[in-house]
Structure 1
Amino acid sequence: MSTWPTEMAPPGRGTAGPPSPALLPGGMVGDGRYRLLSYSGTDARCNAQLWRARDGQLGRDVALTVLLGNQADARAAARVRRTIERAMHAASYAHPGVSRILDVLSPGNGIAPREQVLGIVVAEWTNGTDLIDLIADGPLPAATASRLLEPLAAAVEGAHHAGLVLGTEHPQRIRVTPEGQLRLAFPGPRAEATSRDDVKGLGAILYLLLTGRWALPGGPEGLPVAPIGPNGSVVAPRSLHPMVPHSLSTVAVRSLEDTSVGGIRTGAAILQVLDEIAEAEAETGLIPVVAEEPEDDVVWTTQRPVKDKKRTRKLAIGVSALAVATLLVLGWIAMQVVGFFNESNTKGDGGPPLVISQVVPTSDTKQSVNNAPTPTSGPVKPASVSVFNVASDPDSPNKGGLAIDGDPNTSWRTDKYLSNFPALKPGIGLMATFGQPVKLAQVVITSPSAGTKVEIRTAASGQPQLQQTLVVGSGTLASGETTIPVKMASPSDRIVVWITSMSPSGKLFASQISEVKFIGAR
C-alpha cells in the first residue's frame, strides 16, 4: 500500500490515504478514461474519496466520487450498488445547487476487475472553492451564511419532492461557486441515507458557517467539532457567538435534532427562516456595499466594514462646501433676475429685452430636447436570439428564440430565484444578433411579468462581457406590451435586453418575455 504524500492532506481535509497505488494524482481510473488531478477529501462513512479528474475522452474536468473496497466483499458491494442506483435516479434532477451527474461506473461497466474500486459517480466539475476553506479565517456573518445556503436548501427541498436523496451531510462534498452559492459538488448519497439526513446536513452546514465547527459524526479529521451541552444536544450557535440571530441559531440546532423531540423535518422550514433573514438584510442593510474594487479571484468579503472617521469627516466637509456653493449660485441668479426687472421699470419700453434663457438655460428645456422621440422606420427582424448570461447555468438557454417567434403564447422564462437580482448574479437577458448593424428607435416587449425592470444595451461583436455593453434605454414592464425608447449614437449588430430586476411571485422571483420587437430609427 502506498503512503499518502503529506502535502496532499492539509489539516481539516482528512488524512486517510488511498488503498491503491492508482489513487494518486496522475493515476487513471474508469478503464483509463479519467486521470486524477487533485484530491478534495474523504467521506469515511462510506469509504469514498473525492477527486477532481480529467475526462480524457471529452477533454473536460469532472468531479469523481470514488467508492473504494474489495470487489470480493459482498456486503460492501451491495451498499455501493445502492449508492450507484440512487445516483442514476438523481441524474435527471437539474438544479443550480447540485452538480449534474454525468455518468456512473461499476465493476464490469467502466471499472476494471483489478481495480480496488466498487463504483464511481461522475459529475460536472464545480469551479470555486471548498466549503471548509471558506471558513478558514473564522465564522461568517449571519446574512452571508443565509445567502450562501439558500440555493442548496432549495435543491434539497426540490429533490425531496421528486423522491430523491442527495447526500449533503459531509462538508467536503460541498463547494462554493464563484457566484457565491453552496453547491453539492460530489453527489452520491450513502446507501442508508434518508431525506432526514439531507435536512441534518443543511443544519450542520449552517452551523459550520456560523461557528466554524462541524456538528455531525464522520466529519473530516482536523475540523473542530461542535460542543455538546448538558442535555446532549449541540450548543446553540448564539451561545458561541451572540451576534447570530435567534431564529437562525434555533433552526441550525433543530435541524440536527430528532424529529420526535421537535426537530425540523423538511428543507422548506429552513428556507423560510433563510428568507426572513434575507428580508431583514434588505430592510436594515446588514451588509453594506463595498466601494473598493475587489482583488483578483476574490468573490466576496466576509469582513465587517470598518468605520473610517477621517473619510467621514472629509465627506462632511465636502458636502457642506457643495451646499454653500449652491446657495451662492442661487443667490446670484436671484439678484440678476431682480436687477433685470428693476432696470425694465426704470427705462420703460426703450430698453432692449433680455432673454433669460440665453443666460441660464433651464433644465426643462434640456430635458425636452434630450427626450425628444426618435422617428421610427419600422420593425427590424434579428437573425437570431440567444441567452446573454454572465454567470454559470444560463436560464432556459434553448428557448431564447421563443421571444422572436411571433407567437405571444410562447415565452422565454428565467429560472425561479429565492432572491431578486443582483443578490446572486447581476441579471440575465437575451441578445439579438442582426445580419448588419442597425440603429433602433424603440424596443417593444410583450410580457405578463409586470414590474420587471429591463435595460436595452448595445454589445460588441464576438462574446461580449457585461461591462463591454452600453445602456441605450431602460424601463419597467407592464403586463402586456411595453414600449421602451432607445437612443443610439451609432448602429450595432447586437442588442441585449437585460433584466436587472425580476417580478415577485410569492417568496420567489421570476420573469418571462413573450415577444420582443425591434423598431428601427430613420
Structure 2
Amino acid sequence: MNEKRSEESGAARTGVRTRGGSLAPGSVVGDGRYRLLAQFGIDERAGAHLWRARDGQLRRDVALTLLVGDPADAESARMARRTLERAAHAAKFTHDGVARVLDVLSLGSGITSGEGLLGVVVTEWTKGTDLIDLVSEHPVAPLTAARMVQKLAEAVERAHHAGLVLGLDHPQRLRLTSEGTLRLAFPGPLPEATLRDDVKAIGAVLYLLLTGRWALPGGPAAIPAAPHAPNGRLVPPRSLQPSVPTELSSLAVRTIEDGGHGGIRTSAAILRALELAAEAEERTQLINSQGPKPDEDGTIWTTKKPVKDRARRRKLALGVTVLVVAAVGILAWLGMLAISFFQDSPNSGGPAINVAAPTTTAAPPPASTQPPAPSTPPGQAQLGAAVAPGGIAVYNPDGDGDNTSRAKNTIDGDPGTIWRTDQYNQQFPTIKKGVGLIANFDNPINLAKVTIAANSPGTVVEIRLADSEDPQLSDTRVVGNATLNGPTTDITLPQPQQARYVIVWITQLSKSGSKYQSQIGELTFVPAQ
C-alpha cells in the first residue's frame, strides 16, 4: 500500500512530456519490451527520467533510467553515451546497496530515434519506499538515519575499490528497502561524476534524513534546499534539529563541504565515522533508557528504598564506637600534656640567663658585586596591564557551535562562570578538527601572553591569530600552545605579536570517563609594554 502511494505521488510530481513524444503510464519503450507503469523522479542534470516498468518478455518489474534528448544534438548524444558506458561497466558489480544492472540500451541497439530517447539503463526493481515520501512529514531519528546510510556507504566503498563511480547524488535515485536500508535503485552516473561526488552524496543523504533538506545542487523541487550561513557555509543539521548528535551533524557537514583540512574525502573514512557515530548514539540511548536521570547539578535522584542490611548496620555501629573511643583517648592525652607544661616545678624551666654578659654583633655581609636579578627573563618582553577584548565568540570552522551563549563567561572577570564545549564520545580530530573561542579587540594589541583559568587537565590548546572575525582555520597562524594543567596556565609568546583577533583553539579535549569535554573559566590577554 505504501509503495502504491509512492508511485502515485511520484507520478504526480514528475509527469513530463519528452522531446520525442509523451512518456506516460502505459507507453512502451525499448522496441516494445518495457511498458511504463509509474514515474519516480527526474534528474534534470542528465535528462534522466526514472520509471518503474514491466518487462513483457520476462514478466517482471524493472527500474528504467530513460535518457531523454535529441539524437541530433551531438553534445547530448556524447554525454548519454558516456553515461551508458559507465552503467555497462557497473553491470558486473554486485552489492545489496545497489540495484543490479540488467541491460543497457542505446540508439540502434534496442532504441529507435523516434522514441526521443538517447539511452535506457535497465535494473532490477527495488521494493520499498520513495526517499521523498520518507522525509516529507518529519526527519528520520538520528540513529536510524546513520544505520540507513551505512549500507549505502559500504556499497560506495566497494565500488570505489573496483574503480567505479555509482552516481547517487540525487535523492530520487534512491529508495528505502523493506529491510530499512538505502539502495541506489536507478544507477546511471553523470558523465563528469567523480569518486568525490559519491562521497559528498553520502553526506547529503545523511543531511536529508536528519533535516528533510537537500544540500547539493540539482536536487528535486519537491525537497527544500539546505540553508547556508551569511559566510556561505552550510548550516549544520544540529542548528535545524537540536536532537541531532554533534557527531552526526559534524559528519554530514564535513563530508559535503570541500574546504579546510578536516573534510572527509574518502568512502572508507565516512564509513568508519558512521560506524563510530552510530555506536556512540546507541550507547547514549541505552544509558538514557536504563539509568536514572541526573539533575542539573549532577545529583542522581531515585525513588528506590534503601536496602535493610543488618550486618552492614552492625559493622557501621562498631566502627563509629571505635572512632569515639579513639577520639576520647587522644583528647585525654593532649590534656595531660597541657597540664605538665604549665605546672610550677623546680625541675622545670631552662638554664639561667646572664643578662650582663656582652653580646657579639655579627658583621654585615659584604655588598654583593652581582647586579640585581631582572624581573623579566632576558630576551623576553616587559609585560603591560591586561587588556579586555571588545567581544568573544565560539569559533568553529566545521559550523557547529558549542554553547555559544556562554562564550561571554570567559571574559567577565569571574573564573567561576565557565564556558564548556559540547560533550563528545570521541576525541578530536575523529569527528571534528577542534573548537575554540575567538576574541576581538577594538584596536590591535601587541600580544605577549595569554592566561587560561580552567579546570580541564589534559586539554591541549593553541593560540592562533587571525586577520578577520570569521576566518578559515587554514588562514590563521599558530603563535603559542600548551597543555592545561592546574587552575591557571600561562602561554607566553616567544615574541610579542600584533593582533586584533586572537583564537584560543582546543585540539584535544579533557577526558572524563568515556566522554570528552573541556571548559574555560577566564581568559586574560596581556600585551607587551
Residue 213 of structure 1, CA deviation: 0.5
TM-score normalised to the size of structure 2?
Answer: 0.52
> Deviation per CA, 1:186-219, whole angstroms, max 9, x where unpaired?
0010001111111111111100000000111111
Note if contact 1:68-1:116 (Cα within 8 Å) is conserved in structure 2: yes
CA distance in 2, matches of 1:101, 1:143: 31
Partner residue, 1:179: 179
Counterpart residue identity of residue 107, structure 1: L
Pairs within 5 Å for 1:88-487: 88-258=88-258, 262-285=262-285
The verdict on how the C-alpha distance between 1:65 and 1:183 changes in structure 2, with shifts beyond 3 A counting, is same
Counterpart residue identity of residue 201, structure 2: G
CA distance in 1, matches of 2:10, 2:62: 22
CA distance in 1, matches of 2:166, 2:16: 24
Note if contact 1:281-1:287 (Cα within 8 Å) is conserved in structure 2: no
Partner residue, 1:462: none
Note if contact 2:20-2:114 (Cα within 8 Å) is conserved in structure 1: no
Residue 23 of structure 1, CA deviation: 1.1
Partner residue, 2:60: 60
Counterpart residue identity of residue 279, structure 2: E
Note if contact 1:93-1:100 (Cα within 8 Å) is conserved in structure 2: yes
Partner residue, 1:83: 83
Note if contact 2:27-2:36 (Cα within 8 Å) is conserved in structure 1: yes
Residue 230 of structure 1, CA deviation: 1.8
Note if contact 2:165-2:194 (Cα within 8 Å) is conserved in structure 1: yes
Note if contact 1:87-1:121 (Cα within 8 Å) is conserved in structure 2: yes
CA distance in 1, matches of 2:194, 2:67: 19
> Deviation per CA, 1:93-116, whole angstroms, max 9, x where unpaired?
100000000000000001012110
* Percent identical residues: 61
Instruction: Tell me the SS of whatever aligns to 1:91.
Output: helix
The verdict on how the C-alpha distance between 1:200 and 1:269 changes in structure 2, with shifts beyond 3 A counting, is same
CA distance in 2, matches of 1:27, 1:150: 37
Partner residue, 2:40: 40
Note if contact 2:11-2:40 (Cα within 8 Å) is conserved in structure 1: no
CA distance in 1, matches of 2:169, 2:50: 14
Residue 282 of structure 1, CA deviation: 3.9
CA distance in 2, matches of 1:139, 1:285: 18
> Deviation per CA, 1:130-166, whole angstroms, max 9, x where unpaired?
1111111111111000011000011011111110000
Residue 241 of structure 1, CA deviation: 1.2
Counterpart residue identity of residue 47, structure 2: N
Counterpart residue identity of residue 154, structure 2: A
CA distance in 1, matches of 2:12, 2:114: 32
Choose 135-144 or 12-21, whichever is displaced more: 12-21
> Deviation per CA, 1:8-59, whole angstroms, max 9, x where unpaired?
6669944654334341100000010100000000000001100000011111
Counterpart residue identity of residue 264, structure 2: I
Residue 274 of structure 1, CA deviation: 1.5
RMSD value over aligned CA atoms?
Answer: 2.8
Instruction: Tell me the SS of whatever aligns to 1:46.
Output: coil
Residue 259 of structure 1, CA deviation: 5.3
Q: What are structure 2's unaligned runs of at least 5 residues?
A: 1-6, 290-304, 306-529
Note if contact 2:229-2:235 (Cα within 8 Å) is conserved in structure 1: yes
Aligned length: 289
Note if contact 1:159-1:166 (Cα within 8 Å) is conserved in structure 2: yes
Residue 270 of structure 1, CA deviation: 1.5
Do structure 1's residue 30 and structure 2's residue 48 form an aligned pair? no
Note if contact 1:12-1:221 (Cα within 8 Å) is conserved in structure 2: no
Note if contact 1:97-1:152 (Cα within 8 Å) is conserved in structure 2: yes
Counterpart residue identity of residue 18, structure 2: P
Counterpart residue identity of residue 242, structure 1: P
Counterpart residue identity of residue 124, structure 1: E
Note if contact 1:121-1:188 (Cα within 8 Å) is conserved in structure 2: yes
CA distance in 2, matches of 1:279, 1:124: 32
> Deviation per CA, 1:288-341, whole angstroms, max 9, x where unpaired?
99xxxxxxxxxxxxxxxxxxxxxxxxxxxxxx9xxxxxxxxxxxxxxxxxxxxx
CA distance in 2, matches of 1:259, 1:196: 13
Counterpart residue identity of residue 276, structure 1: L
TM-score normalised to the size of structure 1?
Answer: 0.52
Instruction: Tell me the SS of whatever aligns to 2:180.
Output: coil
> Deviation per CA, 1:53-89, whole angstroms, max 9, x where unpaired?
0011111100000001011111100001100110011
Instruction: Tell me the SS of whatever aligns to 2:153.
Output: helix
